[in-house]
Amino acid sequence: MTSPAGSSGLRRLLDRVPAVLRHGPAFWRRSVQARVVVSTVLLSAAVVGVVGWFLIQQTRDGLLENRVDAVVQEAESETETARAALAAIPVLDADESAQQQALVELIQARGATRGFGVVLSPPISEGVRLADGGAKFTEGLELASVPETMEARFDSVRPTAWTFTDIRTSREVTGLPEGPGIVVGSQVRLPADDNAYTLYYLYPLAEQQETLALVSRAMLVAAVPLLLLIAGLTWLVTRQVVTPIRMARRVAERLAAGQLQERLRVRGEDDLARLATSFNQMASNLQKQIRQLEELSRLQRRFVSDVSHELRTPITTVRMASDVIHDAKPFLDPVTGRAAELLQKELDRFETLLADLLEISRFDAGAAVLEAEDVDLVDVARRVVDMTSVLAAQRDTRVVLHDPGTPCVAEADVRRVERVVRNLVTNAIDHAESRDVEIFVGSDRRSAAIAVRDHGVGLGPGESAMVFNRFWRADPARARTSGGTGLGLSISLEDTHLHGGWLQAWGRPGEGAQFRLTLPRTLGTQLRHSPLPLVPDDARETA
């Protein structure tokens, strides 16, 4: 269990959360405008990102392609210049080491001004790697800047080739920064020893990196205002569409709340204005129809109430005369005696119908009241079983009560609850087709329930809701042996609603039906579930 201190701490923490974050999910679900704006911005961001990535790739490829063409041409030019310089040196005036040094110094001097480094490998015929020593190179440049794959390519005499590399320096070299670069390999032959040597030219890509970074920043700076502009335009466009819809929603809510005079304001002649005009016409027609129905309903309720009350006096007189004739039955001939008996029976049925009509008129007028007390539903079920035993015997049916063994107490009007259960059991006997009628009683901490199950004709699709309509019958051709009026289930539903309970029906053709009455243990408590299932266990097993 959570302690009070923990709960108060959690509440304080939630209070510190900004309102936007707390109500964000609800706002997202309810606002069409927010979803459209966010979706458009996200889609636009994705499109801008893809286009920007494509443009950056094209720019990078173009910069690298131009740089590669330039450095290869420059490396070949430098090699040709070096070859010309070597050819001009007399063979007898220079030895091998002097020629190597002169070659490197010449290219280094040009590289210092043009921003590239140079490495002169040992003779190819010796098969020595750069890492083994003997190479001449720009001071401060690390030999690891030349990839081994590039060295392996020039193990023999090869034409000029290039590849990308990572330039490394042991100290700062003028015009040769560390980082990505291009290495170009070209070969020369020294006159002093007639051996082939490989010249590696290393060109940095710093300028291209800066250009690409500048382009990327420019695109990013341009993308943010573009997305903000798209968001603003989308918000403005959706606002023009959503605002009339919101107004229509508010007016529809007021109409649903009973403010039938509410109407939409019509502006312009566009589609939204025509929609508003149609909406107002629909609202006017609905208002007219509702008022007509209210007036008809009022007249109907008044007619039923007046007729029910006016019939009480003549029916009392007729009842008195019928009782006199019925008491004289032993002195009458058989035909007249039978007529007196039928008169008494139909008067009983007429009085029952009159009482039901009066009860319905009280519900319609809102005059029905509860006389609540603690009621044990098990006792109510026992009394109803005793009341209906004669009718069950006439229909060759048994009414079986499944006693839970514990009281199932609820705060209710015992007269009304007993009437509901009696109507349910009588209705079940009528449709049981000589099979058993079962009564189940159950309760939990918040509710108590009674379920009446029969195994007769059952209910068809959709009839479980219609069965509570006034004067409705599933099969009008069936004989009603219990003398019902067609108002029993309607009155039962009104009695249940008066308690704040549920009265529900389930049925399946040929498998019978089950009616469930669920009441709150305490009046005013809202029901959330019932202790008894609506669908019987035997029906769920065969489903």
Are residues 315 and 188 part of one domain? no
pLDDT at 318 over 50: yes
Is the distance from CB of 448 to CB of 378 less than 8 angstroms?
A: no
Return the closest-CA partner of residue 376 out of 400, 405, 420, 411: 411
* Range scoring the smallest mean pLDDT among 41-45, 80-84, 407-411: 80-84
Q: Mean pLDDT throughout 102-110?
A: 74
Q: Which domain holds residue 122?
A: 79-211
Mean pLDDT of the chain: 81
Confidence of residue 78 (pLDDT cuts 50, 70, 90): confident
CATH number at residue 477: 3.30.565.10
pLDDT at 3 over 70: no
Are residues 520 and 375 part of one domain? yes
What is the model's pLDDT at position 16?
A: 55
Are residues 513 and 440 part of one domain? yes
CA 209 centroid distance within chain: 47
pLDDT at 288 over 70: yes
Query: Does 359 fall in a domain?
Result: yes
pLDDT at 291 over 50: yes
| Tokens at 152, concatenated | 């392996």
DSSP β-bridge partners for residue 166: 180
Are residues 297 and 206 part of one domain? no
> pTM score, two decimals?
0.49
CATH number at residue 344: 1.10.287.130
pLDDT at 90 over 50: yes
Residue with tokens 């009696």: 422
Are residues 284 and 414 part of one domain? no
Are residues 394 and 360 part of one domain? no
Query: Does 7 fall in a domain?
Result: no
pLDDT at 360 over 80: no
514 Cβ contact list (under 8 Å, min separation 6):
451, 452, 453, 454, 505, 506, 507, 534, 535, 536, 539
What is the model's pLDDT at position 4?
A: 45
Query: Does 8 fall in a domain?
Result: no
* Dist CA 255 CA 249 (whole Å): 10
Are residues 537 and 440 part of one domain? yes
- What are the pLDDT digits (tens) for 262-271? 887 887 777 7
**Max intra-chain CA distance, the chain:** 170
Most confident of 119-123, 192-196, 452-456, 479-483: 452-456
Choose one of 231, 253, 275: the last residue of a domain: 253
* Dist CA 513 CA 237 (whole Å): 56
pLDDT at 94 over 60: no
Query: Does 69 fall in a domain?
Result: no
Are residues 89 and 202 part of one domain? yes
What is the model's pLDDT at position 47?
A: 92
pLDDT at 541 over 90: no
Query: Does 66 fall in a domain?
Result: no
Q: Mean pLDDT throughout 308-320?
A: 76
pLDDT at 259 over 60: yes
Q: Mean pLDDT throughout 337-363?
A: 76
Q: Mean pLDDT throughout 136-164?
A: 85
Query: Does 67 fall in a domain?
Result: no
What is the model's pLDDT at position 1?
A: 42
Are residues 101 and 124 part of one domain? yes
Start-end of H helices in 396-529: 414-431, 463-466, 488-498
Are residues 519 and 374 part of one domain? yes
348 Cβ contact list (under 8 Å, min separation 6):
483
Domain count, the chain: 4
The residue ranges of DSSP E strands in 134-205, in sequence order, are 136-137, 161-167, 179-189, 196-204
Choose one of 367, 383, 399: the last residue of a domain: 367
Query: Does 64 fall in a domain?
Result: no
* Range scoring the smallest mean pLDDT among 27-31, 403-407, 450-454: 27-31
Choose one of 308, 341, 367: the last residue of a domain: 367
Query: Does 87 fall in a domain?
Result: yes
pLDDT at 196 over 60: yes
Is the distance from CB of 84 to CB of 167 less than 8 angstroms?
A: no
What is the model's pLDDT at position 21?
A: 53
CA 528 centroid distance within chain: 23
Main-chain phi, psi angles of 505, to 5 degrees: -130, 145
Q: Mean pLDDT throughout 218-246?
A: 87
Are residues 219 and 204 part of one domain? no
What is the model's pLDDT at position 2?
A: 46
Are residues 530 and 386 part of one domain? yes
What is the model's pLDDT at position 365?
A: 66
What is the model's pLDDT at position 475?
A: 56
